[in-house]
Chain A
Amino acid sequence: MKIYNITYFLREGISSIFSHRLMSFAAMSVITACLLLMGSFSLVAVNIDKLLEDVENKNEIVAFVNETYTEEQARSLETQITDIDGVASASFMTKTEALDNFKKDFGDESGILDGLDARNPLRDRFTITLRDISQTQAVADALETIEGVANVRARSDITDKIMQVRDVTTAICTVLILILMFVSIFIISNTVNLTMFNRREEIAIMKMIGATNGFVRIPFIIEGVLIGLAGATLALGLQWIVYEYLVVGALSTLSFMPVVAFGECMSLILIMFYGVALLVGGLGSAITLRKFLKV
């Protein structure tokens, strides 16, 4: 393709956006709205995932050490514990520290525990976090086989529930995002169709004076891609403002709700927005144009 043709196509594509500004604006708005909807839902999904991940991380296994063991003997069990497959970390806590924590939980009424200082009934313990909560039961079983571990506290029933919730939410989010994507593509291609219909006469004239399909098509594709990119950029900006200033701002007051920063989801949103925009803008124009080229 010759250079003067490329510059002509670019100039045509850009000037066409402005000369059909109402349709261009409509197409861009539809792309922006659809992407915002998809983006918002993806951000909700990412946050639910993060919330569940936090719950997972807080779900720890506690291994109590036999009370006949000295502190030094108890500490020596750490290597055996961390060697177990699936264990992310193990932190040791002496029985004195455990009693202090216990007292703290009682606050002002900790006085009732004063008598326990001389004869501490608590045990030294390891608090163990897991790489994957699905391994809770396996790790608990392995811990019980270690000599010196008197008892293991693992809430595998809760972990099972969390896993179920996570699986269901992932499935629902994936299905909804896919549905939204198809709906967006459908709405956007209808808008492109309408734009083309509006200009069918122009396309027919081009064909009748001997323009090839490629010559007619390329400026339309450039126009579609540029409108798509503009829509995606606008959606990205709006998504960022709404999320960072409204959602994160509002939820930051709730300390128990972990909120994922927009920057962390940026790559996901960028790929999704520009991917969908390019696909429907460029490919959508090319495919929709086909029926108008049959002159």
Chain B
Amino acid sequence: MVRLLDVCKVYENGTPALSGINLKIDDGEFVFLVGSSASGKSTIVKILTSEVKMTSGRGIVNGFNLNRIKPSKIPELRRSVGIVFQDFRLIDKKTVYENVAFAMRAVGAPPRIIKKRVPYVLQLVGLEHKMKSFPNELSGGERQRVAVARALVNNPSMIIADEPTGNLDPKMSIEIMSLLEKINELGTTMLVVTHERELVNEFSKRVIAIDQGRIISDKMGGYYQNENL
């Protein structure tokens, strides 16, 4: 669950990134956040994960008050939100299994639970046969599926995918998006940040468009049509 109320962000160097953002995402929703580069999409993700603080406004993510969250509570917030990055951000020195297991170890899960859960999640993303491979032995799509498995393994109530298909070909992109849709159907809230019009239009979902730090449209089953975005 996400609530942002009149959120503004101006970076330390004076660059305005967001202005008057009001956003409400309920549990179980699938939302596309679309916009061109430098429109403010990434800043919203950073605010939701408490990577940066908002300059003004109020915000709540999964019950964590973003205005008052203590540094010691930030790891808990991030555990409630699985994050998938455009560049996968896997640890190259760890195998697929270790990359996913690592996220569980970080939350203090006992080894016997990790041993059961990691193969299950890897099976869910169709990579159970690549458990012992290293990231550089995988294709882009496979790497992103590992990243999705890692985001999913701690059973977060929401997944934020920041340009998850940015480094993938169209066929792979559809595959990854279908995987995210499948995960959403199992009850996980999904926020997908992207600027790929064809992909958004392929899935009939809620689309929030942002431009120059402002939300310009928010439509259920909407299309990403504006050529200028």
Contacts and interface: CB of A to CB of B under 8 A. Distances in A.
Interface of A: 2, 4-5, 8, 19-20, 201-202, 204-212, 215, 295
Contact of B154 (A4, A202, A210): A210
B218 to A, nearest CB: 27
Nearest to B79: A210
Given A210-B103, A295-B51, A205 B108 contact: no
Contacts of A209: 78-79, 82-83, 102-103, 106, 150-151
Contacts of B103: 209-210
B119 to A, nearest CB: 18
B170 interface: no
A19 B78 contact: no
Taking chain A's interface residues, is the majority helix, strand, or loop, or is none over half, making it mixed?
helix
B78 to A, nearest CB: 4
Interface residues of B, number: 26
B79 A2 contact: no
Contacts of A4: 110-111
A215 B106 contact: yes
28 contacts: A2-B108, A5-B105, A5-B108, A8-B105, A20-B93, A202-B91, A204-B89, A205-B90, A206-B102, A207-B75, A207-B78, A208-B49, A208-B51, A208-B85, A209-B78, A209-B79, A209-B102, A209-B103, A209-B106, A209-B150, A210-B76, A210-B78, A210-B79, A210-B106, A210-B107, A211-B75, A212-B106, A215-B106
B136 to A, nearest CB: 14
B91 A210 contact: no
A106 B141 CA distance: 99
Contacts of B77: 210
Interface in B67-118: 72, 75-79, 82-83, 85, 89-91, 93, 102-103, 105-108, 110-111
B48 to A, nearest CB: 12
A82 B25 CA distance: 96
A202 B106 CA distance: 13
